[in-house]
Amino acid sequence: MDRREFIKVSGVTAAAATVPSIFLSGCSTQPNPGEGEVTATPTVCDICFWKCAGHVYVEDSVPWKIIGNDEDLHSNGRLCTRGTGGLGAYQDKDRLKMPLVRTVGPNGQQIFREASWDEALDIIAKRMQKIADEHGADRVALLNHGAGASHFKNLLRGYGSATFSAPSYAQCRGPREVAFQLTYGEGVGSPDRTDMEHSRCIVLIGSHIGENLHNGQVQTLTRALENGVSLITVDPRFSVAASKSQHWLPIRPGTDVALLLAWMNVLISEGLYDKAYVEQYAMGFEQLAAHVRQFPPEWAYLQTGLEPELIRETAREMAKNAPATLVHPGRHTTWYGDDTQRERAIAILNTLLGSWGRPGGFYIQEKVKLPNYPLPDYPKPKSTFKVAHGDDYPFATQPVSNAVIDASIGDDAHYKGWLVYGTNLPMTIPGVRPKLRQAADSLDLIVVIDTMPAEVTGYADVILPECTYLERYDELRNAAEREPSLALRMPAFKPRHDSKPGWWIAKQLGERLGLQKYFPWNDYSEVLDWQLKQVGSSLDEMQQIGVKNFPRKTPKYFQAGEARRFNTPSGKIELYSQRLADRGFDPLPVYKRPPERPDNYYHLNYGRMPAHTFSRTTNNPLLFQLAPENTLWINSLVARQWKLKTGDSVRMQNQDGIVSKSIRVRVTERIGPDSVFMAHGFGHSAKQLRLTNGLGADDSALMTNVLIDPIMGATGMRGNFVTFVKNSEQEHA
Partner 1 sequence: MTIRYAMVIDTRTCIGCGDCVVACKTENKTPVGLNRDWVVEATRGKWPNVRTEFRSERCNHCSNATCVTLCPTGASHYWRDTNIVLVEANKCTGCKACIAACPYDARLIMHPDGYIDKCTFCHHRVERGDDPACVSSCPTQCMHFGILDDAGSKVSQLLKTRNYKALMTETGNEPNVYYLT
Where does this chain bind ligand SF4 (CB under 6 A)? 45, 47-48, 50-52, 75, 79-80, 82-83, 213-215
Should residue 279 be labelled a site residue for partner 1 when binding is judged by CB under 8 A? no
Stretch that binds partner 1, among 121-129, 206-214, 253-261, 334-342 (CB under 8 A): 206-214
Give the CA distances from residue 456 to residues 75, 522, 605, 699, in Å, rounded to whole numbers and listed in that order: 31, 31, 24, 17
Strand partners, 247: 232
User: Which residue of 669, 687, 725, 732 would you call a contact of partner 1, by CB under 8 A?
Assistant: 669
By the 8 A CB rule, do 701 and 329 touch? no
- Written as one string, the DSSP assignment of 254-310 is T-HHHHHHHHHHHHHHTT-S-HHHHHHHEE-HHHHHHHHTT--HHHHHHHH---HHH
Contact call for residue 16 and partner 1 (CB under 8 A): yes
**Binder of residue 17, out of partner 1, ligand SF4, none (CB less than 5 to 8 A by kind):** partner 1
In angstroms, the Cα distances linking 587 to 182, 509, 575, 580 are: 10, 47, 8, 5
Binders of partner 1 among residues 100 to 139 (CB under 8 A) are none
Strand 721-726 to strand 164-165: parallel, antiparallel, or no bridges (unpaired)? unpaired
678: enclosing H helix or E strand: strand 675-679
- Outline where DSSP puts E strands in 139-254: 140-144, 164-165, 201-205, 230-234, 247-249
Please write down the HEC assignment for all residues of 511-551.
HHCCCHHHCCCCCHHHHHHHHHHHCCCCHHHHHHHCEEECC
Compute CA 89 distance to the chain's CA centroid, rounded to the nearest angstrom.
Answer: 18
Q: Which is nearer to partner 1, 190 or 715 (CB)?
A: 190
For 490-500, b/e burial (b = at least 16 CB within 10 A) is: bbbbebbeebb
Residue 370 interacts with which of partner 1, ligand SF4, none, CB < 5 to 8 Å by class: none
- Binding of residue 349 to partner 1 (CB under 8 A): no
Which does residue 47 touch among partner 1, ligand SF4, none (CB within 5 to 8 A, set by kind)? Answer: ligand SF4
Considering the complex, what minimum distance in angstroms separates the CB of residue 66 from ligand SF4?
Answer: 8
Q: Which of 390, 520, 598, 673 binds partner 1 (CB under 8 A)?
A: 673
- Shortest separation between residue 232's beta carbon and partner 1, angstroms: 15
* Contact window for partner 1 (CB under 8 A) among 80-88, 184-192, 287-295, 476-484: 80-88
Residues counted in the chain: 733
* Residue 214 binding: pick among partner 1, ligand SF4, none (C-beta 5-8 Å cut-off by kind): ligand SF4
Q: Is 39 in the site for partner 1 (CB under 8 A)?
A: no
Rounded CA separation 396/588 (Å): 18
36 binds partner 1 (CB under 8 A): no
Cβ closest to ligand SF4, residue 214 vs residue 389: 214
E strand or H helix at 633: strand 631-634
Please report whether residue 379 would count as binding partner 1 according to CB under 8 A: no
- State which of residues 41, 163, 181, 215 lies at the interface with partner 1 (CB under 8 A): 215
* Closest approach of partner 1 to the CB of residue 62, in Å: 8
Question: In terms of Cα–Cα distance, which of 452, 496, 449, 501 is closest to 472?
Answer: 501
Q: Tell me the closest approach of the beta carbon of residue 9 to partner 1, in angstroms.
A: 5
* Distance between CA atoms of residues 168 and 146, nearest Å: 10
Q: Residue 78 binds which entry of ligand SF4, partner 1, none, with Cβ cut-offs from 5 to 8 Å by kind? A: partner 1
Quote the CA–CA distance of 111 and 105 in Å, as a whole number: 6
Q: Which amino acid is at 508?
A: Q
Q: Which of 2, 411, 596, 729 lies at the binding interface for partner 1 (CB under 8 A)?
A: 2
Residues near partner 1 (CB under 8 A), total: 75
Q: Considering only residues 583 through 642, tell me which ones interact with partner 1, judged by CB under 8 A.
A: 610-611, 621-623, 625-627, 635-636
CB atoms near residue 563 (< 10 Å) = 8
Cβ 491 to partner 1 shortest distance, Å: 19
* Cα dihedral across residues 376, 377, 379, 383: positive or negative: positive
Q: How far is the CB of 571 from ligand SF4 (least distance, A)?
A: 36
Closer to ligand SF4 by CB, 48 or 667: give it.
48
Judged by CB under 8 A, does residue 37 bind partner 1?
Answer: no
Q: Residue 471 in 3-state DSSP?
A: helix
Side chain identity at 391, as an amino acid letter?
D
- Nearest residue to the partner ligand SF4, using Cβ: 83
- Among 238, 263, 591, 677, the residue binding partner 1 under the rule CB under 8 A is 238
* Minimum gap (Å) between residue 177 Cβ and ligand SF4: 19
Question: Which residue stretch of 218-226, 473-481, 560-568, 586-594 sits at the interface with partner 1 (rule: CB under 8 A)?
Answer: 218-226
Minimum CB distance to ligand SF4 smaller for 77 or for 647:
77
